[in-house]
Structure 1
């Protein structure tokens, strides 16, 4: 079970933008004029586009330097997360309810870098339901569909579960999330809590579209409908 983070579980956009501005200044010595829109993309892609649209010619060291600066800038603002951000309606109860299902491993598939994803969920007490070691993150330079398959491999390695399209579900809020699930052969529960409309999520190919996560029983029923139990296999 893989969850997108931003606008699916939490919304900390104000803090994220401030951290990006700080990181940009650290790396380039210049103020940030324009931040590339997220639109479900990984931090690595947002960083490159942000540098480009602000007139920075990138070199091999720009991405790792920016990721390190972004991690530090975000961590410095972690006490603002619950004040300036919010947990999405129903997210905690949905995580708790899915965690009660037999054989479920919950993690995240997110464009956010790992350290920041952990801080985002910790700020709202959501981290206890997630195994961050088997997730996929924004500093890993893979297309999201490939990153989903990487996460499946991590579950196999750590838990012995063979993951495929019959027992892997992505829950996210963007059409890009839906496209990643379709390409990777995973089931998709789309939540119309982000910038993609219900119609756009259905058109992208989501198996089930929910308006939000406020009905935990509805979320659990959707997961059960789309999956069969995980098979534990040796090796």
Structure 2
């Protein structure tokens, strides 16, 4: 049965912070996929994994195709599995994330999934590592391998969840995430827990910006 409402969470800097581990693992996967050491990385905030990979490759003078990305994505998933201990030791769930997920799960008629630039396998590993996966309906979400543009990911999630834009809500920490939700016609609650300030998020069009997820009652009231 379709959810009456679905809450679509971003992952990085909204629910978890990998504290540099994510970039290290991306560098390993990049070298495995391309044979080149990753000397620098393209912009990542709010950007999908295929675009990050393609633009990073260009910075190294490489032209890539879908098969190159698929090799990268497989390597990225493998290295996340291999380095779960590092991820758990150095990264963390953001304060209030677990309580917020639990509180949303207790709301009648609500379901939760993910809209993330991460590929699905990595998204699953990240949330499972920090115990944040128990309420997530993975099949209803959208992930980096599904589309290049984040607004398209929101639309894909709506289609998978079989809900209208009015019955969905996006929580994200980046201007790109805010803009994607609005382009898809979805209400957005921004969380200023990433690299973007509250002013940046308001400028992107967010009507509600939370400083973090620590005030569970405020998180829930923002969903109305």
Tell whether 2:30 aligns with 1:19: no
Q: Partners of 1:144 and 1:30 in 2: how far apart?
A: 28
Paired residues for 1:144-223 under 5 Å: 144-156=150-162, 163-223=163-223
Query: SS of the counterpart of 1:106?
Result: strand
2:130 to 124, 130, 133: 124
Number of aligned residue pairs: 218
Partner of residue 53 from structure 2, selected from 28, 40, 47: 47
User: How big is each residue's C-alpha offset from its partner over 1:171-197, in whole Å with a ceiling of 9 and x where there is no partner?
Assistant: 000000110111000000000001111
Name the CA distance, whole Å, in 2 between partners of 1:217 and 1:195.
24
Provide Cα deviations, 1:42-90, integer angstroms capped at 9, x if missing partner: 1111000111101223245211111111111222111221201011111
- In the alignment, the residues of structure 2 paired with residue 189 and residue 170 of structure 1 have an alpha-carbon distance, to the nearest angstrom, of 6
Aligned to 2:75: 69
SS at match of 1:188: strand
Counterpart-to-counterpart distance in 2, 1:16 and 1:37: 14
Gaps of 5+ in 2: 1-6
Instruction: Tell me if 1:80 matches 2:96.
Output: no
Encode CA deviations 1:192-226: one digit per residue, 9 max, x unaligned.
001111111111111211100000110001112xx
CA distance in 1, matches of 2:67, 2:186: 34
Kindly indicate whether residue 109 of structure 2 is the aligned counterpart of residue 99 of structure 1. Answer: no
Q: CA deviation at 1:18?
A: 1.6
SS of structure 2 residue aligned to 1:127? coil
The one of 2, 9, 27 equivalent to 2:8 is 2
> How many Å apart are 1:20 and its aligned residue?
1.1
Question: What is aligned with 1:56?
Answer: 62
Higher-Rg structure is 1
Query: Contact between 2:51 and 2:148, CA under 8 Å: does it hold in 1?
Result: no
Q: Is the 1:15–1:74 contact (alpha carbons within 8 Å) kept by the matching residues of 2?
A: no
What CA distance in whole angstroms lies between the structure 1 residues aligned with 2:63 and 2:121? Answer: 27
Counterpart-to-counterpart distance in 2, 1:132 and 1:57? 32
Structure 2 distance, partners of 1:142, 1:43, is 8
TM-score, reference length from structure 2: 0.93
Displacement of 1:134 in angstroms is: 0.8
Partner Cα distance (1:10, 1:34) in 2: 23
